[in-house]
Amino acid sequence: MPVFTGSDMLTLLPAIVMCLFACGTLVLDVMGRRIPRGRRWLMLFGLCGLAITGVSLWRQWSALAAGGLSQYTGAQGAVTLDGLGFFSNALVLGATVLLFLTSYRFLEITREHSGEYYSLALFAQAGMYFMATASELITLFLGLELTSISFYILVGFTRVDRRSNEAALKYLLLGAVSSGFILYGFSLLYGIAGSTELADISSAVSGRGASDPFVVVAVVTIVAGLLFKISAVPFHMWAPDAYDGAPTPVTGHLSVASKVASFAVILRLLPMTLGSVRSLWEPLLIVAAVASMTVGSIAALTQHRLKRLFAYSSIAHAGYILLGIIAGTQMGLRGVYVYLIVYALMNLGAFTVLTALHRHGIAGEDLHDLRGLSTTRPVHAALFVVLLLSLAGMPPTAGFLAKYYIFTALIETRHYALAVIAAAYVVVSLYFYFRLVREMYMRPAETREPLAASLGIRLSLYATAALTLFIGVFPEPVLRLGFRISGVGQ
């Protein structure tokens, strides 16, 4: 009988830490009702957990580096530590830290502050840990479900807001269908290989080839389910509603962390496991990428609700990231990693600004809520412009660099048509991001109510905007770190 060894412990350490701290938050919440300012302690306790998670991730990485290994599989083959997992986990960890920092004031204002919020965020993060590292289907699926279910609840967390409830319901129903699709595909893969290990599945599928009907159905259903998770067209219908209804910090987290982890799953399943049947899934991804860029960029033109606008913009960004996977070369893969880093930074920054717009008595979710921001809060407005430029892919910001990598990879692999289409939508996106700038700089303010600024909000805004600019101007250090963690070479 296999026993649980110390090295198994090491492969699971971050997940264990997250789950323990999530449980701790719950217990602290109900036991510490009478502690003055107890809710601040809850947040600090959660941040403490994140710090320890970071340390344990670093320990894993250094243990691997000390052994000279590029990957290590533990826990009866259920979890594999490799560059992809470390990269995704590091990014998700950063996103969760920003979530905690920006949520405090928001939850105070909406009077929804309780321990479940932090606990669910930590559980979601544990789920994303398994999404990024699982090398076995059951663990992978459980990771997906841990993440999705936590997010369904977080989306519906604002109980007074009907829109939040509606969003949670829509997200839950559509998400359950997509999980069903993925599970159906997984069960077919298990039927093909007789094993749930991704390595066995990879060899069994390559033995059968791309013309086998079971392989076709399995690939199509899995791709459909995964495209839903990254909100790519035609499985994007949930995104605008869920993004609009969710509490703003949760929207930011949903659009960044869950998307990063889902891209980790896509990278692990499609190119790494099902690479031998590339001819099956590549056309699907091409269609989804083009459709995502089209629908995302064009639908965003007419939105007047800020979070819906960013929902469509993130749909378009998912399309760009898919292009890197379609290119499939070393350059394309690096493009995906760079894009994910940059996307995480700029989107989290943008949602931090949206969170700050939410004040007592002001929902701050409409385009006109940005009016006059340049006079009332010039620093915020300027940083927001930096982030928007980056989202549009303009130099000298990081967004340009991300798009540069993707376009280079496309041209290297002779996907000229895709490159032209993608470039055309960059121009379109410039217009709708500029609409936000126009509201901030060319319209007078409607209210003198100051923005909801807390130390956490300011910190995360400054950090994301500064990093966006820094990567754009001096890309070397951050990119080298990213490539080193993800193991895709210099």
Partner 1 sequence: MDTILFFIFAIIAVVCGLNLVLQKHPISSALSLIGVMGSLAVLYLMLGAEFLAAAQVIVYAGAIMVLFVFVIMLLNAGSEKPGGKSWFAQIAGIPLLLAFIAVMGFVIETFLPALRSVRFGSFAGGTAREIGRVLFTEYLLPFEVTSVLILIAILGAVVLARKEID
Partner 2 sequence: MPSGYLPIFVFAILAALFPVAALLLARLVRPSAPNAAKLSAYECGIEPTSQSRGRYSVRFFLVAMLFVIFDVETVFLFPWAVRYRQLGWFGIAEAGVFLAFLVVGYVWVIRKRVLDWS
For partner 1, the binding residues (CB under 8 A) are: 1-2, 4, 12, 19, 23, 26, 75-76, 78-79, 116, 119-120, 123, 126, 130, 138-139, 142-143, 145-146, 149-150, 152-153, 156-157, 159, 165, 168, 213
Tell which one of 29, 82, 145, 200 touches partner 2 (CB under 8 A): 29
Q: Whole-angstrom Cα distance, residue 185 to residue 182?
A: 5
The piece of 24-32, 220-228, 242-250, 315-323 that touches partner 2 (CB under 8 A) is 24-32
For residue 265, the minimal CB distance to partner 1 (Å) is 16
> What does 79 bind: partner 2, partner 1, none (CB cut-off 5 to 8 Å by kind)?
partner 1
Q: Whole-angstrom Cα distance, residue 409 to residue 21?
A: 41
> What does 216 bind: partner 2, partner 1, none (CB cut-off 5 to 8 Å by kind)?
none
Q: Which of 388, 383, 234, 241 is nearest to 303 (CA)?
A: 241
Q: Among residues 45 and 343, whose Cβ is nearest to partner 2?
A: 45
Tell which one of 10, 13, 19, 299 touches partner 2 (CB under 8 A): 19
Q: Whole-angstrom Cα distance, residue 94 to residue 335?
A: 20
For residue 142, the minimal CB distance to partner 1 (Å) is 5
Distance linking the first and last C-alpha atoms of the chain: 43
Q: Among residues 115 and 247, whose Cβ is nearest to partner 2?
A: 115
Q: Whole-angstrom Cα distance, residue 237 to residue 170?
A: 9
Q: Which residues, in sequence order, are CB contacts of 180 under 8 Å at separation 6+?
A: 225
24 C-beta neighbours (distance < 10 Å), count? 19
At 474, is the secondary structure helix, strand, or coil? Answer: coil
Q: What are the phi and psi torsion angles at 136 (to 5°)?
A: -150, 145
Q: Among residues 4 and 474, whose Cβ is nearest to partner 1?
A: 4
Q: Among residues 19 and 321, whose Cβ is nearest to partner 2?
A: 19
In Å, how far are 117, 244, 329 from 250, measured between CA atoms? Answer: 10, 10, 34
Q: Among residues 114 and 454, whose Cβ is nearest to partner 2?
A: 114
Q: Whole-angstrom Cα distance, residue 414 to residue 283?
A: 15
Q: Which of 449, 238, 462 is nearest to 363 (CA)?
A: 449
Q: Whole-angstrom Cα distance, residue 447 to residue 373?
A: 10
> What does 78 bind: partner 2, partner 1, none (CB cut-off 5 to 8 Å by kind)?
partner 1
Q: Based on the shown chain and the rule CB under 8 A, indicate whether residue 126 belongs to the binding site for partner 2.
A: no
Q: Based on the shown chain and the rule CB under 8 A, indicate whether residue 439 belongs to the binding site for partner 2.
A: no
Which neighbouring-strand residues pair with 80? Answer: 73
Q: Among residues 173 and 417, whose Cβ is nearest to partner 2?
A: 173
Tell which one of 9, 23, 427, 455 touches partner 2 (CB under 8 A): 23
Place of tokens 């094993």: 195
For residue 25, the minimal CB distance to partner 1 (Å) is 11
Q: Whole-angstrom Cα distance, residue 5 to residue 383?
A: 49
> What does 197 bind: partner 1, partner 2, none (CB cut-off 5 to 8 Å by kind)?
none
C-beta of residue 116 within 8 angstroms of C-beta of residue 91: no
Q: Among residues 16 and 445, whose Cβ is nearest to partner 2?
A: 16
Query: Longest C-alpha distance within the chain, in Å?
Result: 72
Tell which one of 9, 27, 44, 420 touches partner 2 (CB under 8 A): 27
> What does 31 bind: partner 2, partner 1, none (CB cut-off 5 to 8 Å by kind)?
partner 2
For residue 459, the minimal CB distance to partner 1 (Å) is 28
Tell which one of 5, 7, 9, 31 touches partner 2 (CB under 8 A): 31
Q: Which of 144, 413, 177 is nearest to 269 (CA)?
A: 144
> What does 29 bind: partner 1, partner 2, none (CB cut-off 5 to 8 Å by kind)?
partner 2
Strand 79-81 to 72-74 pairing: antiparallel
Q: Based on the shown chain and the rule CB under 8 A, indicate whether residue 379 belongs to the binding site for partner 2.
A: no
Cis check for the bond before 234: say yes or no (omega within 30 of 0).
yes
Q: Among residues 31 and 442, whose Cβ is nearest to partner 2?
A: 31
For residue 115, the minimal CB distance to partner 1 (Å) is 10
Q: Based on the shown chain and the rule CB under 8 A, indicate whether residue 3 belongs to the binding site for partner 2.
A: yes
Q: Whole-angstrom Cα distance, residue 334 to residue 382?
A: 30
Binding residues (CB under 8 A) for partner 2: these are 1, 3-4, 19, 23, 26-27, 29-31
